């Protein structure tokens, strides 16, 4: 299922695609999340400029709600596979475990995921999950 949104197609992470994450709320919701992301990560940024989500094999989900991750995580993993990144660290935090459970449920349903496990002590322990991906397109 593809949802339309008002985010311009030149935003790097969503380039050439409809936006499944922000749905009808479109650019306004993107800018709200972008503002939250930039403030958490100490990035000084003009609110009207798009934020570039790096595809580097590490995604920090602290700034997202579990419902937002359902579309974001598969998209991010797809982009990692396209770049040949087959081991991805997903930082979901320790908290109550709700985000971890959401992440694990998503990973279990994805045929592109060979396996996943909680990270070791050096990579975030039970606050992060390591996903191993099949080579892809």
pLDDT tens figures, 75-109 = 999 999 999 999 999 999 988 888 999 999 999 99
- Between the alpha carbon of residue 17 and those of residues 65, 76, 123, 129, 134, the distances in Å are 22, 13, 32, 27, 23
Q: Give residues with Cβ within 8 angstroms of 18, minimum separation 6.
A: 2, 3, 4, 5
Q: Give residues with Cβ within 8 angstroms of 1, minimum separation 6.
A: 20
Number of domains present in the structure of the chain:
2
What integer pLDDT is reported at residue 97 of this predicted model? 86
Q: 13 and 71 in one domain? A: no
Q: 71 and 133 in one domain? A: yes
Range of the domain at 32: 1-47
The pTM (predicted TM-score) of the whole model is: 0.64
Please classify residue 88 by burial: count the beta carbons closer than 10 Å to its beta carbon, then call 0-12 exposed, 13-18 middle and 19+ buried: buried
Q: Are 113 and 73 in contact (CB under 8 A)?
A: no
Q: Tokens standing for 44?
A: 């000084």
pLDDT tens figures, 63-84 = 888 788 998 999 999 999 999 9
Q: How many residues does the chain have?
A: 137
Q: 129 and 97 in one domain? A: yes
């Amino acid at each position: 299922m593809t949802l339309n949104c008002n985010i311009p197609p030149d935003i790097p992470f969503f380039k050439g695609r409809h936006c499944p994450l922000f749905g009808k709320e479109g650019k306004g919701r993107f800018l709200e999340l972008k503002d939250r992301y930039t403030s958490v990560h100490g990035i000084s940024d003009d609110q009207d400029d798009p934020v570039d989500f790096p595809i580097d094999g590490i995604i920090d989900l602290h700034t997202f709600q579990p419902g937002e991750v359902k579309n974001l995580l598969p998209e991010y993993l797809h982009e990692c596979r396209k770049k040949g990144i087959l081991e991805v660290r997903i930082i979901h935090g320790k908290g109550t475990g709700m985000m971890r459970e959401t992440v694990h449920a998503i990973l279990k349903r994805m045929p592109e995921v060979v396996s996943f496990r909680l990270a070791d002590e050096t990579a975030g322990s039970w606050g992060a999950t390591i996903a191993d991906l099949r080579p892809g397109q």
